């Protein structure tokens, strides 16, 4: 079973979002990995295949985020950094990130535009997630159940889409430092195809 490879590949495909989607946002979006943790998420263009129609409140939250990102882009342009408009999820394709960071105007522009630097909301993060198959969702549920029964009782149950709940409050989703959590991670790793000696998915 290669569920972990599918999810880790999805996470890798969106690693640029911390800069391209946020221009230095606090935290950045996260995509749950097969290990039950999360990885920095994002992409300069795609929006993944997660649901973008998760109710009026989510649509409103996404619209508000896109609006603030438009203000950020406008501000950056006014300060010498020409960026494209954000896409439907507020992501901004910055192109060559290394070259952009080396541009002395970039840091200055970021400082001046800090007021428009918004944290990626949970609705955007959810919309970016790749859609899991029923088999993959089943594996995530089995993994969570195994973790809870083998030393990590606070390990979160996946939601209906197979992902750990998204809150973006900056606090750990579960205690990964305890001996029980580490034992559970070793015991349950085979369920998602991780190496047996690999620790919890989120540091």
Residue 142 to residue 84: CA distance in whole angstroms: 43
Average pLDDT over residues 32-39: 38
Q: Is residue 120 part of a domain?
A: yes
Output the pLDDT for position 69. Answer: 95
Same domain, yes or no, for 49 and 121?
Answer: yes
38 pairs with which residues across the strands?
A: 32
Output the pLDDT for position 99. Answer: 78
Q: Is residue 198 part of a domain?
A: no
Residue 136 to residue 112: CA distance in whole angstroms: 44
Name the range with the highest mean pLDDT among 20-29, 88-97, 182-191: 182-191
Average pLDDT over residues 64-78: 95
Same domain, yes or no, for 110 and 144?
Answer: no
CB 18 within 8 A of CB 25: yes
Q: Is residue 74 part of a domain?
A: yes
Same domain, yes or no, for 116 and 175?
Answer: no
**What is the domain range of residue 101?**
3-128
pTM of whole model > 0.85?
no
Same domain, yes or no, for 38 and 105?
Answer: yes
Percent of the chain with pLDDT over 90: 43
Q: Is residue 201 part of a domain?
A: no
Same domain, yes or no, for 22 and 73?
Answer: yes
Q: How many domains does the chain have?
A: 2
Same domain, yes or no, for 117 and 164?
Answer: no
Q: Is residue 173 part of a domain?
A: yes
Same domain, yes or no, for 23 and 120?
Answer: yes
Output the pLDDT for position 123. Answer: 87
Q: Is residue 203 part of a domain?
A: no
Same domain, yes or no, for 61 and 84?
Answer: yes
- Residue for token pair 């809150």: 167
Average pLDDT over residues 164-178: 78
Q: Is residue 68 part of a domain?
A: yes
Same domain, yes or no, for 113 and 16?
Answer: yes
* DSSP 8-state code for residue 30: E
Q: Pick 194 or 28 by higher pLDDT.
A: 194
Average pLDDT over residues 157-166: 87
- Residue for token pair 């590949």: 9
- Per-residue pLDDT for 24 more than 70? no
Average pLDDT over residues 28-43: 37
Same domain, yes or no, for 161 and 109?
Answer: no
- Domain boundary residue, one of 108, 128, 148: 128
Output the pLDDT for position 196. Answer: 52
32 pairs with which residues across the strands?
A: 38
Whole-number average pLDDT of the chain: 74
Q: pLDDT of 77-132, one tens digit each?
A: 999 999 999 999 999 988 777 778 888 899 999 999 999 988 888 888 888 889 99
Q: Which two tokens stand for residue 187?
A: 């015991």
Same domain, yes or no, for 95 and 138?
Answer: no
* DSSP 8-state code for residue 31: E
CA atoms within 13 A of residue 77's CA, in its CB half-sphere: 12
Same domain, yes or no, for 119 and 143?
Answer: no
- Report the relative pairing of strands 30-32 and 38-40 from DSSP bridges: antiparallel
Cβ atoms within 10 Å, residue 41? 26
- Domain boundary residue, one of 128, 163, 183: 128
- Domain boundary residue, one of 103, 128, 153: 128
């Amino acid at each position: 079973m290669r569920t972990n490879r599918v999810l880790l590949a999805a996470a890798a495909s969106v690693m640029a979002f911390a800069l391209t989607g946020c221009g230095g946002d606090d935290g950045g979006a996260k995509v749950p990995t097969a290990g039950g943790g999360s990885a920095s998420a994002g992409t300069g263009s795609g929006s993944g295949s997660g649901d973008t129609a998760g109710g009026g409140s989510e649509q409103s939250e996404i619209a508000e985020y896109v609006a603030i990102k438009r203000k950020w882009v406008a501000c950056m342009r006014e300060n010498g950094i020409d960026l494209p408009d954000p896409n439907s999820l507020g992501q901004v394709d910055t192109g060559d990130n290394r070259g952009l960071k080396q541009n002395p105007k970039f840091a200055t522009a970021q400082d001046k535009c800090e007021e428009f630097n918004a944290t990626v909301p949970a609705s955007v993060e959810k919309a970016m997630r790749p859609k899991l198959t029923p088999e993959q969702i089943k594996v995530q549920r089995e993994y969570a159940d195994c973790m809870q029964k083998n030393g990590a009782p606070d390990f979160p149950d996946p939601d209906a889409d197979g992902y750990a709940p998204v809150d973006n409050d900056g606090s750990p989703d579960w205690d990964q430092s305890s001996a029980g959590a580490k034992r559970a991670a070793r015991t349950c790793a085979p369920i998602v195809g991780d190496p047996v000696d690999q620790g919890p998915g989120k540091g």
